[in-house]
Chains A and B, each alone.
Chain A
Amino acid sequence: MTIALSIDQLSVALPADADRPYALKQVSLHLNRNEILCVVGESGSGKSMTAGAIMGLLPDRVRAESGRIEFEGRNLLELNDAELRRIRGAKIGMIFQEPMTALNPLITIGDQIGEMFRTHSKLSRRETAERVQALLRDVHIPDPLAAARAYPHELSGGQRQRAMIAMALALEPAILIADEPTTALDVTTQAQILKLIRELQERKGTAVLFITHDFGVVAEIADRVAVMQHGVVVEQGEADTILNRPQHAYTRALISAVPPLTPPPIRQVAEESILAIRQVNKIYRKGGLLGRNKRVTHAVRDVTLDLPKGGTLGIVGESGSGKSTLARCVVRLLDPNSGHIEFDNVDLASLGRRELREHARHVQMVFQDPYGSLNPRRRVGELVAQGPIVHGTPCQQALAEARELFELVGLDPDATRRYPHEFSGGQRQRICLARALALKPRVLVADEPVSALDVSVQAQVLELLARLRQQLGLSLLFITHDLRVAAQICDHIAVMKNGSVVEHGTAAQVFGSPGHEYTRSLLDAVPGRHWTPPSFAGDIERIAA
């Protein structure tokens, strides 16, 4: 095997006011021809910075301080802008996480791909158009002729990412850098894109540097793996070795934190249901003066579900399946158009505003984004205490209870006087939990509570949720797109598609013998489903500490 690109002792310095002096510290990597090298790490590990350094696209005030990046016998760090421009796109292609923002919204897909040829070659108009068509066919876009004329917003997320890949591969670069290319996509689309990248890579012999945080994706696509932590490569080697016999403690901890796809043994859950969702519908109507261009979206269609007392009902589905809308209907952030939501012999769906506020305390919600769901201008203790205060608890007592809740969710009680920005993502999600628990709810609706967290933090928060469920006798309505997470925490699982529940059963049933075709396709699309992460007890605690 020949080396396509080698990084030798690369250090990248951060500006003086950053939280650490180096983004990358003496990173040495090499990328062979015709292979996929996965760079894995959690947020802040420096994996994207590595890609930026190769392309000469580091953020302002960040610079490569020492080391070499060797490509075709030249050190990329020493090239000037004009020389780098000739390499970017032509010899090193790149695809990004969010194709919607990486594509220019005002230019058609065909023109954007054609721009690659106009910039780097002297092809005629007709030849360019033909090449664009060939590329769009290569990436299996349905109806390539129409796609070339479409603007980015007219394509789906997966098609946009296909167009991005077509663009990156237009000039048959020797190297393709893919920075989390599937993170923003649904799981079935992700599986297709991963397959496409693999197929094109094999056909053209491209060297792919694939950056990801997801070990499932690594298991799916990598030939070799490099694991990064705090700007240092802690371990690299063949995919099989790293995935199944990792040596470094950090790699072991990361891999142990990946939830296996098989549900744990069945817990005993009461037959009795605490929350009954009956025939709930939510319809969005859009625009249309005098009925023109009127769009009606059935976000939730006749959903009937039961949440068993003390149990966890998982609602899984892809984006647009209506799972979050359903959750918001349950806590009445949205008003369902029809149907009943029965809790304690009260129909939550039909309550007026005043009664709703009284009943709100029994059904609480935890949100996805731990950064956006805490008011940045108030102390976290006040945030936790404000619910009880509204419901009539004296201020002093509520603040004292907030301290106890902090202890319950594993935070320092003295931290109640601090502001949200002083906490990490995992800690903030614990604060959100404490805030929801302050009202002593009996049902907790969790909308993707761990999706924004790194995998090791995710494991801790899931553990906390499982513990609280036991300790407080909570019933959980758990919304997630991640089947691995769902397998770990849910007793029952409902699969949603286009607003309807297509399958509903115990976790073991749904994962073991899925009845509906859509469930099977979801399960088939889970990255790394054939790989069972080995477990290394003890390592997680060490990393957490």
Chain B
Amino acid sequence: MEFLHRYKRNPAAVFGLVLLLAILVLAATAGLLYPQNPLGLAGRPLQWPLSNPDFLFGTDHVGRDIGAQIFHGARVSLFIGLIATVIAIIIGIVVGALSGYYGGLLDDMLMRVTEAFQILPSFLLLLVLVAVFGSELQTVIVAIGVVSWPAAARLTRAEFLSLRNREFVQAGRTLGLGDFSLIFREILPNALPPVIVYASVIMAVAILLESALAFLNLSDPNVPSWGNLIGGGRGVLRVQWYVSAIPGIAILLTVLAVSLVGQGLNDALNPRLKNR
């Protein structure tokens, strides 16, 4: 309750939440408003938006309804963002927790692996993974998750380092708790808030990464993602710019919404920082 109250005091965060809810509504109503296959041919190609009442958002270079792709694309983009984030956070938490809790040799090894991932530009690594394993939707999502976890791992590790010698952890140890419950029931809940906030950044980046892949025609062509639409519009960018611009705006607003919500969460979870 108090948390909600603090969250509500931040107008930018509330705006972000409203925006995110609106995108969720797009995703939820896609099946109702556009029951046909969004990748099916709908009409004459390259009709401008608002020129034909049947296609409010116009049609793309092969004659598919842009509106249908935007609505159905919301599902795909949010799905990609969510699952990739969950994958990245889980890997990050496990690596960070083990590394921070046990320290020593294990810490050294895990941190070297983390650094190996960090020094490679994540998009480059993503390209390699997609080139090797193919570009079905599942593969793309897993690949995005796999390139996004190092920062989460470092964050979790830092939290664990400061928490593992607190007295409540020592108290748990004297009670005879095993490592598993010390890590996951005593320390992790206290280490989680900054990681949760960081998850919003990962989610925003995941959506962008997928779009970038699609722009290079490397994402799954069989799903109506916003990125695919932008990639498709690439050839007609100079004249029929709306084909790329409309999904581009959708991506912009989604990333903005996710980031604002993350920032709002951060402020609400650390109320003392906000009062300064």
Partner of B190, one of A367, A377, A387, A391: A377
B238–chain A nearest beta-carbon distance, Å: 55
Partner of B275, one of A60, A357, A386, A435: A60
Residues on the B chain within 8 Å of A378, using CB: 185, 189
Is B107 located at the chain interface by the 8 A CB criterion? no
- Contacts A376-B190, A377-B189, A377-B190 known; A360 to B175 CB distance under 8 Å? yes
- Considering the chains assembled together, what is the distance between the CA atoms of A331 and B173 in angstroms? 9
Is A50 located at the chain interface by the 8 A CB criterion? no
Is A121 located at the chain interface by the 8 A CB criterion? no
Is B36 located at the chain interface by the 8 A CB criterion? no
Chain A residue at minimal CB-CB distance from B190? A377
Chain B interface size range = 10 to 19
Residues on the A chain within 8 Å of B181, using CB: 390
- Considering the chains assembled together, what is the distance between the CA atoms of A51 and B25 in angstroms? 57
A522–chain B nearest beta-carbon distance, Å: 26
Is A375 located at the chain interface by the 8 A CB criterion? yes
Which B161-175 residues have C-beta < 8 A from chain A?
Answer: 166-168, 170-175
Residues on the B chain within 8 Å of A356, using CB: 176
Is B106 located at the chain interface by the 8 A CB criterion? no
Report whether B175 and A373 are in contact in the complex, using a CB–CB cutoff of 8 Å.
no
- Considering the chains assembled together, what is the distance between the CA atoms of A140 and B272 in angstroms? 41
Which A326-378 residues have C-beta < 8 A from chain B?
Answer: 331, 333, 356-358, 360-361, 363-365, 367-369, 372-378
Is A402 located at the chain interface by the 8 A CB criterion? no
Report whether B167 and A357 are in contact in the complex, using a CB–CB cutoff of 8 Å.
no
Chain A residue at minimal CB-CB distance from B173? A333
Which B129-185 residues have C-beta < 8 A from chain A?
Answer: 166-168, 170-178, 181, 185
Residues on the B chain within 8 Å of A233, using CB: none
Chain B residue at minimal CB-CB distance from A360? B176
A16–chain B nearest beta-carbon distance, Å: 12
Residues on the B chain within 8 Å of A375, using CB: 168, 172, 186, 189-190
Is chain B's binding surface mostly helix, strand, loop or mixed?
A: helix
- Considering the chains assembled together, what is the distance between the CA atoms of A386 and B174 in angstroms? 12
Report whether A372 and B176 are in contact in the complex, using a CB–CB cutoff of 8 Å.
no
Report whether A373 and B176 are in contact in the complex, using a CB–CB cutoff of 8 Å.
no
- Considering the chains assembled together, what is the distance between the CA atoms of A435 and B275 in angstroms? 35
Residues on the B chain within 8 Å of A439, using CB: 175-176
Residues on the B chain within 8 Å of A357, using CB: 176, 178
Report whether B174 and A364 are in contact in the complex, using a CB–CB cutoff of 8 Å.
yes
Chain A residue at minimal CB-CB distance from B168? A375
- Considering the chains assembled together, what is the distance between the CA atoms of A60 and B276 in angstroms? 8
- Contacts A333-B170, A372-B166, A373-B168 known; A387 to B175 CB distance under 8 Å? yes
Residues on the A chain within 8 Å of B178, using CB: 357, 390
Residues on the B chain within 8 Å of A60, using CB: 275-276
B265–chain A nearest beta-carbon distance, Å: 17
Instruction: State the 3 A-B residue pairs at the shortest beta-carbon distance, nearest first.
Output: A373-B167, A387-B175, A360-B176
Task: Give chain B's interface residues, CB within 8 Å of chain A.
Answer: 166-168, 170-178, 181, 185-186, 189-190, 275-276
Task: Give chain A's interface residues, CB within 8 Å of chain B.
Answer: 60-61, 331, 333, 356-358, 360-361, 363-365, 367-369, 372-378, 386-387, 390-391, 432, 435-436, 439
